[in-house]
Amino acid sequence: MIRAMSEGTNGPAGALLEVGEATARDVAANRQDLLETLARIQRDEDLSESAKGRLTEEARSKASSRHAEIVDRHERDVACVLENNERRLFKLAFPESISTPSEMQQFRNSYRDASFKVLNLDEDTLGRVMTRASRVGDGALEQACYHEAVERGLFSVANEYRERHPDAAEVWRIYEQTRLSEDAHGATLTRALLSTSNPGA
């Protein structure tokens, strides 16, 4: 049902653009429907002026309700794209040596414990812990440090991790691209446009 879930080959940024384009089409169609309805009402010679006024108000009210639904759906679709993108950012990367469900669960447990241990460490200490985890091959601890750095905006630590892990660097690049796309082409500007284009107003 949510269009934002269909990311295609263009990824999350493409999904945001798709959401914006679909919203613009829906707004235009709603406005066109209203204009056609109003024109039909005015052309109907069997209607009195009071009847035309009543039907006009009903048509405008219906268009306003439809417009509000379009705006609400747009907000949900954009939020869905961004939420999915954040999930990718914090998704665990299992070592190649791990393959069974029980091994994966053990890794998750290690990651969970490590996450609590590195919570709110100062940037210097967090970076040292992450470096040591990388040296000894403790992937759970290393990722816990990285996610802590990302959440708190500790870029020197996060960048150090991404330099060692190209996959994480690519996920981060897409994450930033999607955020920029949202600012430039997505929810912010579309909301401003929609707020002034209610056809029933």
Average pLDDT over residues 149-156: 95
Question: Measuring CA to CA, how many Å separate 112 from each of 92, 117, 143, 144, 167?
Answer: 11, 9, 10, 8, 21
Confidence of residue 201 (pLDDT cuts 50, 70, 90): low
Select the more confidently predicted residue: 43 or 200.
43
- CA 114 – CA 118 distance, rounded (Å): 6
pLDDT at 113: 97
The domain spans of the chain are 3-89+180-195, 101-164
pLDDT at 10: 57
**Angle, CA of 164, 156 and 104, to the nearest 5°:** 45
Answer yes or no: is pLDDT of 135 > 60. yes
Q: What value does the CA radius of gyration of the chain take, rounded to a whole number of Å? A: 25
- CA 44 – CA 53 distance, rounded (Å): 12
Looking at residue 143, the DSSP 8-state letter turns out to be H
Q: pTM for the full model?
A: 0.65
- 138: helix, strand or coil: coil
Per mean pLDDT, which range of 74-83, 111-120, 133-142, 186-195 is the poorest? 186-195
The chain-wide mean pLDDT, for the chain, equals 85
Select the more confidently predicted residue: 129 or 85.
129
pLDDT by residue (tens digit) across 49-98? 999 999 999 999 999 999 889 888 888 888 888 888 888 899 999 998 99
> Of the segments 5-14, 24-33, 179-188, which one has the largest average pLDDT value?
24-33
Q: Who contacts 118 (Cβ-Cβ below 8 Å, separation ≥6)?
A: 126, 129, 141, 144, 145, 148
The helix-helix angle for 49-89 and 11-43 (nearest 10°) equals 180
pLDDT at 92: 94
Say if residues 10 and 17 touch (Cβ distance below 8 Å). yes
Confidence of residue 19 (pLDDT cuts 50, 70, 90): confident
Candidates 6, 66, 1; CA nearest to 31 is 66
Residue whose tokens read 């020197």: 156
